Amino acid sequence: MKIVLSRAREKRALELEGRRVIQQAESKSSFFGLVGGSAAMQSVYQSVEALAGTNASVVVRGESGVGKELVARAIVQCGNRADKPYICLNCSALSES
């Protein structure tokens, strides 16, 4: 009985976490696929909006797994190129030749 109750409690906790993530993604803390409401993320959102309206080339740098591709997509989706094709190029995956 203890095992069944423990599993049910774990399942319920996962369901609640899933709902919380969905609500966060749908709330104001979601911005063109980026999720977060912290001051740092608000700064990222402002930068994305500022860049999206320009015709400037942009290089997005950062450690592996920080969301560089998501930021690049947000810049395109937020700007006047949203209806144009988007091509993601991972330069580190290119061979030297």
User: Domain holding 79: CATH number?
Assistant: 3.40.50.300
Q: How far apart are CA 6 and CA 59, in angstroms?
A: 48
User: Whose CA is closest to 90, among 74, 69, 71?
Assistant: 69
The total number of structural domains in the chain stands at: 1
Asked if residues 24 and 35 have their Cβ atoms less than 8 Å apart, the reply is: yes
What is this structure's pTM? 0.62
Q: How far apart are CA 10 and CA 14, in angstroms?
A: 6
**Domain of 18, in residue numbers:** 2-93
pLDDT digit string, tens, across residues 49-92 = 899 888 888 888 889 888 888 999 899 888 888 888 888 887 77
List, in order, residues 6 or more apart from 73 with CB less than 8 Å away.
Answer: 32, 33, 86, 88
